[in-house]
Amino acid sequence: MLYGSCPVDEAEPLQRMLLSGPSADVDWSQCTHLHTAVLQVLLVARPGLGKPCGDPFVDRWICGNLPR
């Protein structure tokens, strides 16, 4: 689960989690700010994202490139 401000140092643990369980879903509905490194991990891993992102900019402009 991603929540609050998601800084660059959350990118590597997120990548490890997604590599260890490729079918893992990510809940980012409580995320208020998403660093581009975290976004890049999500773009490459393409996990399931059931709920809209809590960061309005990401939800509006980026989510079209990610699976729901």
The predicted model gives 45-65 an average pLDDT of: 86
Q: Left (φ > 0), alpha (ψ -120 to 50) or beta: where does 65 sit?
A: alpha
Q: What is the pLDDT of residue 65?
A: 66
Q: What is the pLDDT of residue 68?
A: 60
**For 5-50, how does the pLDDT look when each residue is reduced to its tens digit (9 = 90+)?**
999 999 999 999 999 987 888 999 999 999 999 999 998 998 888 8
**For 17-26, how does the pLDDT look when each residue is reduced to its tens digit (9 = 90+)?**
999 987 888 9
Buried b (16+ CB within 10 A) or exposed e, 59-68: beebeeebee
Q: What is the pLDDT of residue 67?
A: 63
Q: Where are the domains positioned within the chain?
A: 3-65
Q: What is the pLDDT of residue 63?
A: 81
